[in-house]
Amino acid sequence: MSNLPAELLEIIFLSYFYRAPSPLWYSMPIATRRPPTSPAAHETFACRRACLMLVSRRWYDVICRAQTLWQDIEVTPVTTTHTLEAAMSHSGLRPLHVSCIFSAVYRSTYALNPLPLSVAEQVEVVSQAFTTLLPSATRWDSLSVIAEDYQVIDACLLLIDRPARPQVLAQATIIFSGANPHPRSPSLASQTSFPPPALLPKDPSLRKHGMRSLTSLTLRRCAVAWDSLRDVFSAALEDLNIDTPRDPVAVEVLVSLLSKSPGLQHLRLGGYFIRLPDPVLGEDASLDMSVHLPSLRHAFLSEMSSQTIVVLMRIIEAPNLCQFSLDLRRYARNPVDVAGFQDVLPHLLHGTSFASASSLRHLHLRRLDLRPSLVYDGVNQLYAPFISLTHLTLDFRTLQIEYWMWLLECSADGALPRLAHLSIAGLSPLEVQELICIRADANLPRVNLHMLVFFTMYDSPLYLHWLQRHTLSFTVAREF
């Protein structure tokens, strides 16, 4: 590559920097563990730049001249003033995308690498970094703040409000994960709820200004003051993720919050935090309310009861929904003793104001339990109504095998004619081979197949090679 023209090298570097990123933690339907809310050090743009610049002097010069490679600026606990000054100098007059990342990174399912800095030290790093970056604040196109403590978010918002008008930001993202308790951290009871004070201006007229109108908000494992969130939600909000907050919320309050953001495009609700009205005379209380979300395209519901899911599907109107995911693995611990989720199936099959089976393009199922004595007419045709489905993900590490048997039966009848991408976890290659044969006999098109298999199944080269020959593409990952 040393003889390539500088222009071609720049194109190659751009493709390396902006290659397809890892899926977000809430959109990995067959993940072996929960990924982190923030990237690891080796995944940041700054690290990629540094690695390429160390290869040779020529690469160093090419990267320094490529202004596009310096538009993404990251403020982390290890960021130096020299790095920020170099980024501003090399970016020319291009728009800047600033990210403040102060959140722990997962190293396994439950273990975390805690931040090496105290909250006060994190605030000091943010203050020094913003002091360096603020001369270019008029070029800021987006700001992302990923933090565990509200004081870090406050520091970012207050510093940007002083010299620059926040409404110049096209995108404003906040990911608040809450502190992960460890021996030296304060107790959960002493931590302040979201939203932080800086996100709630005293003057109501300022609530429509840029930073006050977030485009993306993620709340994960943190305390939430739901009444105060009314001043944070706005028509600008496009991406909302609420995952296992510590404070419950009444479904009426949640609906009122969602109604303030009709432009929502992505919605993820996870955790047993939504409270339904108490039953009246032994029957579920009826809820005379609804929220219309015409722009909603992706919906993810996880770790909640079937009653809550059914209520949400009755209340939320999303006529343009194209991707739906059910991931309930942590709610039902025993698939035999608990009430099943079969009440959800009629809503999927026959369509509601929330989702129409005939219009869905993506369907992800993980941990959708059924009672052993399930009796439901037509359930063996579960997949037949999904005539437009192109992506199907089934995780049989927690999903009952009935869903696979129904898929085989429906495929024999010509169901899922537009299916192009199939992701399977928890089954052997030999079992998936049966589905491929059935689809071929029914003159259905080939699919792109992705499998997550146990390591004991991985050593079956004969079956793996057969799948590779009879699919459009085939990738396999091992799970230990």
Domain boundaries, the chain: 1-247, 248-373, 377-480
What's residue 113's pLDDT? 64
- C-alpha pair distances (Å), 94 with each of 111, 139, 437, 471: 39, 7, 53, 44
d(CA 112, CA 178): 13
- Write the single-letter amino acid at 225: A
Q: Calculate ∠ Cα 158-161-162, nearest 5°.
A: 95
300: number of Cβ within 10 Å: 20
What's residue 426's pLDDT? 85
What's residue 187's pLDDT? 45
457-466: long-range contacts, CB 8 A cutoff, minimum separation 24: 457/428, 457/429, 460/428, 460/429, 460/430, 463/428, 463/429, 463/430, 463/433, 464/429, 466/429, 466/433
Do residues 272 and 331 touch, judged by C-beta distance below 8 A?
yes
Query: What tens-digit pLDDT sequence spans the chain (480 residues)?
Result: 667 787 788 777 777 766 555 555 444 444 333 444 455 554 567 777 878 888 888 888 888 888 888 888 888 888 888 889 988 889 888 998 888 888 775 444 445 566 778 889 999 999 999 989 888 888 888 888 888 888 888 888 888 765 444 455 777 888 887 655 444 444 444 456 788 887 776 555 544 444 456 888 988 888 899 988 888 888 889 999 998 888 999 999 999 999 999 999 999 998 889 998 876 444 555 677 889 999 999 998 888 887 888 888 889 999 899 999 887 765 444 443 344 566 676 666 666 677 788 889 999 888 776 654 454 455 567 888 899 999 999 988 878 888 898 899 999 999 999 999 999 988 888 889 999 999 999 999 999 999 887 765 555 677 788 899 999 999 888 765
What's residue 108's pLDDT? 42
What's residue 296's pLDDT? 94
What's residue 137's pLDDT? 80
For residue 79 the two structure tokens come to: 């960021």
φ, ψ for residue 372 (rounded to 5)?
Answer: -60, -30
d(CA 240, CA 264): 7
d(CA 421, CA 418): 9
What's residue 118's pLDDT? 86
Sign of the alpha-carbon torsion through 216, 388, 424, 339: positive
Peptide linkage before 195 cis (omega within 30 of 0): yes
Exposure on the CB side of residue 31, measured as CA atoms within 13 A: 16
